[in-house]
Amino acid sequence: MFEKDIYQLIRGLRSHKGNEREYIQDCLKECRREIRGADMDQKATALLKLVYLEMFGHDMSWASFNVLEVMSSPKYLQKRVGYLAAVQSFRPDTEVLMLAENLLKKDLNSPDKTMMSLPLIAIPHVINPSMANSLLTDILPRLSHSNPSIRKKTIVTLYRLALVYPETLRPAWPKIKERILDEDEDPSVTAAVVNVVCELGWRRPQDFLPLAPRLFELLTQGGNNWMAIKIIKLFSTLTPLEPRLVKKLLPPLTSIIKTTPAMSLLYECINGIIQGGIMEAAEGTTEGDEVARLCLSKLRAMLVVEGDPNLRYVALLAFAKITSSHADLVSQHQDVILECIDDADISIRTRALDLVVGMINANNLQTVVERLLRQLSSAGAASEIGGHPQDRGINAGVVPMADDDDDDLQASIKPKGQKSAQAPPLPEDYRASVIERILEMCSRGNYTNMNDFEWYIGVLVDLVKQCPATASTGSFNSTSLTTAKAKQSIADKIGAELLNVAVRVKAVRPDAAAAAQSLLLIERRDHHFGPRGSGNQGVLAGAAFLAGEYATMLPDPEAVLTSLLQSSTAQLPTNTLINYLQAIPKVFSVITNNERKSWTTSRQSNTVLLIARIVHFMEPLTMHPNLDVQERAVEYLDLMRLASEAVSSHEPCSDTSDFVEPPLLITQAIPSLFSGVELNPVAVTALRKVPLPDDIDLDAPINVNLQMLLQQAEYDAEFVDGDNDVWRFYNQKPLPVGTFYQKSAGDLLNARDASSRTSSYQDTESESFDQEAIERKKAERAERYRDDPYYIAPVERRSGSLTPMHNILRNSNGDQELDVDAIPVMELKLDDTRDVASDPERMRRKKSQPVKKPKRHFEIAAEETIDGGDENMPTSYSSSPSKPAISRGKKSLLEVDSSALSSLSLTDVTPSGGHISQLEIERRQAEEQEMANALKEVERLRLEMQRAQEKIEMRGDLPEDGTIVKRKTKKKKTRVVDVGAETGVAEDVQEDAAAVKPKKKKKKKSPAADDETRAVVDDGTFDDELPAPIAKPKRKKKRQVVFDEDGTEEAP
Amino acid sequence: MINAFLIFNNNGQPRLTKFYTQLDTAVQQRLISEIFTLVSARPSSSCNFLPLPPLLSPPTSSSTSTQEHNDAPSLVTYRHYATLYFIVISTATESPLALLDLIQVYVEALDRLFENVCELDLIFNFETLHAVLGEMMVGGVVVETGLDRVVEGVKAQGRVAKRPVNESRSGIGMQGIWAGR
């Protein structure tokens, strides 16, 4: 029987072109058989083959025990295969790991150094806290091994041990420190220590300050650029803690920058200066200014250097880090940075884009945006051909395919390969992010940098065309779901932005309305939307709302209405359709409400025609599947029918010289529906700031007798009398309305006391004629909306242009009205900002930004809110506590959690440690005490319950039931204990967290707490493929919850 | 630190996978194919840094502090040599330009060991690839960057087999992997 060795397997794969899958399945079967055999050689060969196939995604977790067998082979080469297999295939849930412990210990103590390094390399991959604890004693002595290669591997292994088991550092750190302080140590070991310290450093910089002199020495000695980079990185985390370091570091860093030929070191020097805050710290001094100038000029040189995109990329990264503090310095280099926006490389472009967003100001905004726009429009064609030429291996897992030609494979990999250098097309998500950035840049700080809103409106309209198409086919199929959503919202965002500008900046409303009109017009659709499919239709929602709200400013309302009523409209997404439905009556009312023009025959027929078209459009929508659409359609349809009645029955004048009043329903009633309070921007947080009125008790039942009333209602249901309005409204056919239609609606309106109203809208309309009643209604409404955040500051209701009705009211008794309107504002004041808040004009003036462009002054309405101070308020207190929890849960895939390290202090090992551990012991005792108390309490409760049960038993006088009752008692008993213990623990943990937080720096977590969290981690978090994250004390509470959930899940 | 070191060829077939975090095999494969998708679309003139693949991109766009960020991989660096892509996924504590040099050292070490290395060497001697990597980094931390010492360290583990000279004569090519014994 011939077995395949690894070469034959690979050759076999290569010769089975086309049917690799079957071949692999055969091989796997073979391996399964071979690995069970007694021959160790065969086992090892089979394992190696499995490892090879694992690389292509063929699971080999089933072989974990065999891995152990091979690992324990005395022969080095077999052992090596075993260790390799363990590294490649063991997962956090591999159970045989416990069995490996002794083997690892044995190999760590092997006399042979190559044998010894096998476990050292493998341990970082498979380690868990309990294993770390037991292996520590075997690994530590290896730090003083005679072979430097073993020493440096040991150091790193200890670091990985510390990540899962922070206690490692307590005995290990002094020894590691010894290594770095030892000047005779092998340089590569020193470099390894520096690497490890650099990894540890950012977590707990304060512990590594004592090393600063030695690190400084190593840095100035020079020689190893790799190490210098790491030392600089480390120093950049230390300088914020020790400002004196800045002065010390400046000269060597400056000289490195000036002299080093190594770009990586140069770059890291600059980066370290930026990140370590050295630039800020040294600001003002001559050296500081010099170094800042030097850095920026070097970075600039990196940007302009030809042929090395990598330098350009990292320089942009560095620039981006400076922008937050020195935006002005960066914008001096605007010219070269802007060049990078058009770089052929998407990575560079994205970085440049990030950077540009940071350095934008009023002067360069337009240039930058124009440039981005040009980029978008010129790349439009390229993206059509888009897609990835090589998308093999995206859908199906990669199969070890037979390779096409060996010549290719035999080509030496040393020379760099040549690929076609054609510019990549703009990917859709890049396109989306450019648009998002443009919106972000322009709207930042309530349009601080915006000088020309007319230009901005034009930009927005242009952007619509550049929206990425929604339906992305293929390519990034793993992300298509999410990006499709994002893309959907890009067009929506543009629409919202358009609306936002129109609302905030009064001066450009006509322009915005015109823009909305051009977007809405069907004939112009192709021009604005281009051929990119339906991705950009989201903007229509915003445009439609805008057109409706500012219909008076539309250049051509009739044309807009025609477009809105297009039959294709009904196919729009519901969100857009809703806005269309809302806009239609608004535009209609603007077209028809002229009360100065006489009611002529032609006007009548025009109006009738318009109404007929609207009715025709809306009728099918009353059956729309979306409830919102349906409701609006039904509402406006009935309104239109009513209008139709009024219009057709209103006698027009036969003679042109006569003036006949147009129907009031058209000129006053319908417009008044849409002319309430002016639309103002309201801060997102405003709603939360509305204080709870003193007289509201949310816990009090609204009606104590609710239950009774409901029952009553059930009894009464049979005897409903006909006078009950509500009952009639819902249960009787609206016959009366029908009879009403026979009269003219206009007549009805004129009749002041239409006593026989039954239909609800007629109610309000006829009443609306009564001035006093209107006044009363207004007051009522104001009263009702006093606490409604959406009605915050309508002090002067100046939507007069839209509402003739309103003018009438204002003229008649404006004073009174103002009083009434002021009520909500007065009530909403929270403190002394009251007068400001009650005067939106003043507030606006205060908040409006200094506008630089002299020719036109734009007033930008700030968001309305109650307090003004958004910062004091947690922006979202409902979601903020859960947010970190979410982000913790979705930890990045490859992340190695080092957070546990920050809870452990290395200073403990210094002589003061004794005192601290004393404290700790006390604390632990206190915890135990608390736990004991909690248990006592539980016990007490249990006894009480038992006693109560016994009482019942006694009273029951039923001896034969006794057993049953007893069993019940028992059940209850245990449950109570459970709950008690749980709450006890929870309390304990909470207490613990509270106790640890303030002293975190000085004190280590109690081992008890450690055990607890570890247990939790073992139970809960291990099922995603992440390393065991030891909880920080802060997070402990949350973890506890995870644990509890798991517990309950397991219980049933 | 370095989170993963990968090699795959122009078709996306892996030649070496090393993850310094335990990951499910299926997830590994997905990650590889995502990176391959990103990397294969890039012309040779573009820079050697990739945007994070979807699997690795941070869960929420904001709200992670810079400190926390140092634990998560934030950098994908690659180099393209002839038919092979070398990928390093790392956190922000690594220097991007130094990583490029690191890949270079790795390839040069392979070249020393195999003498004019090519993809076939990598295919047939993937154990050696792991050995070289093991000499250069342990648990995601770089321990050696000196070319000579890396090569020396690998050679100390036993003879490095050259790829079988003639593919077709499979019967004779039995010198196999255990040649060192």
Is the CB of residue B140 less than 8 Å away from at least one CB of chain A? yes
Q: Are A548 and A587 in contact (CB under 8 A)?
A: yes
**B-chain residues near A415 (CB < 8 A):** 81-82
Per-residue pLDDT band for A475 (boundaries 50, 70, 90) equals very low
Do A406 and B120 lie within an 8 Å CB cutoff?
yes
pLDDT digits (tens, 9 = 90+) for A326-362: 777 788 888 888 888 888 788 888 888 888 888 888 8
C-alpha A768/C-alpha A283 separation (Å) is 69
The angle, 0 to 180 degrees and rounded to 10, between the axes of the packed helices A539-549 and A557-564 is 140
Confirm whether the ipTM is greater than 0.85.
yes
Which residues from B are below 8 Å from A412, CB to CB?
82, 116-118
Contact A344 B45 (CB under 8 A): yes
Cβ of residue A680 closer than 8 Å to a chain B Cβ: no
Give residue A422's pLDDT: 39
Nearest to A762 by CA among A777, A782, A747, A781: A747
User: Would you call B179 an interface residue with chain A, using a CB distance cutoff of 8 Å?
Assistant: no
Distance from CA of B25 to the nearest CA of A (A): 6
> Coil, helix or strand for B138?
strand
Q: What is the pLDDT of residues A762-805, one digit of tens each?
A: 444 444 445 566 666 666 666 665 555 554 444 444 443 444 44
Place of tokens 């190893």: A224
In B, residues 26-45, which contact A (CB 8 Å cutoff)? 26-34, 36-37, 40-45
**Contact: A192, B141; criterion CB under 8 Å:** yes
Q: Kindly report, residue by residue over B138-174, the tens digit of the pLDDT.
A: 999 999 999 999 999 998 887 776 665 544 333 323 3
CB contact under 8 A, B22 and A91: yes
Q: Is B130 within 8 Å of B16 (Cβ atoms)?
A: yes
pLDDT of residue A383: 39
Report which secondary-structure segment, H or E, holds B5.
strand B2-9
Beta-strand relationship, B75-81 and B49-50: antiparallel
| CA distances, B7 to each of A14, A87, A846, A1017, B111 (Å) | 19, 17, 60, 33, 15
Distances in whole angstroms, Cα of residue A608 to Cα of each of A37, A605, A613, A634, A647? 93, 5, 9, 19, 7
Strand partners, A860: A505
Contact A412 B141 (CB under 8 A): no
Q: Is A758 on the interface with B (CB under 8 A)?
A: no
**Does B82 contact A401 at a Cβ distance shorter than 8 Å?**
no
Using an 8 Å Cβ cutoff, are A437 and A353 in contact?
A: yes
Residue to test with chain A: of B33, B78, B133, B165, most A Cβ within 10 A = B33
Mapping DSSP to helix (H, G, I), strand (E, B) and coil, where does residue A792 land?
Answer: coil
CA distances from A917 to A409, A908, A998, A1003, B151 (A): 62, 8, 16, 8, 47
Q: Are B22 and A92 in contact (CB under 8 A)?
A: yes
Q: Across A394-403, B48-57, B153-162, which has the greatest mean pLDDT?
A: B48-57
Q: What are the pLDDT digits (tens) for A179-233? A: 888 888 888 899 999 999 988 888 888 888 888 899 999 998 877 889 999 999 9
In angstroms, what CA-CA distances link A517 with A220, A545, A569, A591? Answer: 68, 11, 15, 15
DSSP 8-state class, residue A61: G
Q: Between A263-275 and A244-259, two packed helices, what is the crossing angle to 10 degrees?
A: 160
Q: What is the rounded distance in angstroms from the CA atom of residue B12 to the CA atom of residue B14?
A: 6
Question: Which one of A118, A160, A165, A893 makes the best mutation probe of the B interface by having the most chain B beta carbons within 10 Å?
Answer: A893
**Rounded distance, CA A632 to CA A480, Å?**
33
Q: What would the mean pLDDT of A243-269 be, rounded to a whole number?
A: 88
Phi/psi for A626 (5° steps) reads -80, 130
Q: Can you give the pLDDT at residue A920? A: 59
What is the separation of C-alpha A868 from the centre of its chain, rounded to a whole number of angstroms? 26
- Say which DSSP state A860 is in: B
Contacts of A8 in chain B (CB under 8 A): 170
Distance CA(A327)–CA(A442), nearest Å, equals 17
Under 8 Å between Cβ of B99 and B90: yes
Of A541, A536, A414, the closest CA to residue A470 belongs to A536
User: Is A392 at the interface with chain B, CB within 8 A?
Assistant: yes
Residue of chain B with shortest Cα separation from A1029: B71
Task: Kindly determine whether residue B14 and residue A410, on different chains, have CB atoms separated by under 8 Å.
Answer: no
Asked whether residue A63 carries a pLDDT value surpassing 80, the answer given is yes
Domain B2-57+70-164 maps to which CATH number in 3.40.640.10, 3.30.450.60, 3.30.70.260, 3.30.56.10? 3.30.450.60
| DSSP single-letter state for residue B17 | E
The model's pLDDT over A886-900, given as tens digits with 9 standing for 90+, comes to 344 456 666 777 766
In A, which residues are within 8 Å of B42 by CB distance? Answer: 345-346, 424
Query: What sign does the CA torsion over A418, A421, A425, A427 have?
Result: positive
Q: Are strands B75-81 and B14-19 parallel, antiparallel or unpaired?
A: unpaired
What DSSP string describes A449-495?
Answer: T---HHHHHHHHHHHHHHPPPS---SSSTTTHHHHHHHHHHHHHHHH
A978 contact partners, CB below 8 Å, separation of at least 6: none
Per-domain residue ranges for chain B?
Answer: 2-57+70-164
Neighbour count for residue A293 (Cβ, 10 Å): 11
Number of H helices, E strands in chain B: 6, 7
Contact B89, B3 (CB under 8 A): yes
Q: Do A1027 and B21 touch (CB under 8 A)?
A: yes
What local confidence, expressed as pLDDT, does residue A526 receive? 64
